Amino acid sequence: MLRNYIHNIEDLERLYYSRAGSQLIQKADAPVLTTTTGVYNAVFGAKVWANLNLEANAFGVLPKTPWLRSGWRVITARASATVTGGVAENAALPDTLKPTFLEVSTKPKTVAHNFDVSEVHEFLSTESADDVVGDLAFMRQYMGQEHKEHVNKMLLTDVDTLASNSIESLDRVVSTYGEVTNCGITAGDSDIFSIDRDAATGWSDAFVSHNSNTDRELTDTLLRTIQQNVLTNGANPDGQLWFTGYDTFFKITGLYEPQVRYASIGEKDISIGVNGVETPKGGAVGLKVSTLYGKPLILSKNTPQDTISRLYLLDTSNPEGFDIPRLCIKIAKPTQYFEAGMNTGDPFGINRLGNEGMYRTMGELICTFFAAQGKIRDLQ
């Protein structure tokens, strides 16, 4: 027995600290470990780092205008396809002329995202000392970001996917009937705003550089060709911007760096607001972005891809001074947050003891000048 060796504190120290004493101590392991039931719970905290890219760049850079009316008129053909107006001496006046008019209309689309939290979970998250996350305040913040990303993904849906109840996409706006005949697009899928592009005699076609659904390398010639064609079609060079994905962006930078042709790619300060992309004036501070041939180059992870992302050259200007730009998002009702349930004193509205929130945006992507928009697809 150990008591036979211990008569004072020195004996105790000698027993435990000397080699001889340690040999007399018999042990049976039963340690308390972090894996022992009931003794350890990891406390994760209230912060949640979203390992997701929730950007909404397409939605951000497009101009937003109020929904004043649901239709617009376009001129689809000139008054005369040939050069006229020369009058012989003392001859009769020529016949009168008129262009071809067409009415185009669409209705606003509604995008809504709901989420709910039970009363018990809300209490444990906000009132108790328990380590709980996912309360209404957290969900409100997170779902606000995800709501914008879903709108962004709608704007960047492939041309071969009909919009249905979703907001229209840039890939469907910047399209041509030639994608149906040459790129395997389903017949009718490039139609937009009730316009039959097969029967529209070309006026509703954007400029699309394709390779008949066979991917090819991006070249400087392709970049210069798209600029030439949309300008020939009437695009406003002061209101243009490029839009593509990160993979194509790095193809572009690799295209110019070996030749040290830095004049084609650079940087510019811009601001992004309800009017889309603008160049800051005076002492305004802007966001620095890359430029390609002097035009802002905006990137999004959601850009439609072939092997790599498609590249768009968009005209969002309004040189005519009309009530909407050539390409914009018309907003019928801006993004709003609604809430019902226990926190608002109305559990009957949602028929349960909890809280429900909803983000809602109402609007539509509108294009009034298709030929001024351009796209390069079939890239690798």
Task: Report pLDDT for 47.
Answer: 61
The residue ranking higher by pLDDT, 376 or 68, is 376
> How high is the pLDDT of residue 167?
96
- 204's CB contacts (< 8 A; 6+ apart) are 76, 192, 195, 197, 370
Residue 252: Cβ within 10 Å count = 20
- Judged against a pLDDT cut of 70, whether residue 194 lies above it is answered with yes
pLDDT, one tens digit per residue, over 65-88 is: 999 999 988 888 888 888 888 999
- Kindly report which listed range (60-64, 98-102, 180-184, 280-284) carries the lowest average pLDDT score: 280-284
**Pair 113, 146: CB distance under 8 Å:** yes
Give Cβ neighbours of residue 135 (< 8 Å, ≥ 6 apart): 117, 121, 122, 125, 126
Mean pLDDT over all residues of the chain? Answer: 85
Residues 6+ apart with CB under 8 A from 72: 103, 104, 105, 324, 366, 368
Please give the average per-residue pLDDT across 338-359, as a whole number: 90
- Mean pLDDT on 87-100: 90
Q: Which helix (H) or strand (E) holds 115?
A: strand 109-118
The answer to whether the pTM exceeds 0.85 is no
In this predicted model, what pLDDT tens digit does every residue of 27-60 receive, in sequence order?
667 776 657 677 655 555 666 666 666 788 899 8
Mean pLDDT, residues 118-130 taken together: 86
Give the CA radius of gyration of the chain.
32
pLDDT at residue number 35: 73
What percentage of the chain exceeds 70 in pLDDT? Answer: 82
**pLDDT value at position 45?**
60
Angle between helix 136-155 and 119-126 (nearest 10): 110
355 has pLDDT over 80:
yes
Q: Which fold has domain 58-81+97-233+324-376?
A: Major capsid protein gp5 fold (3.30.2400)
pLDDT at 321 over 80: yes
Closest Cα to residue 357, out of 142, 47, 139? 139
Q: What is the DSSP letter of 100?
A: E
Confidence at residue 31, expressed as pLDDT on a 0 to 100 scale: 72
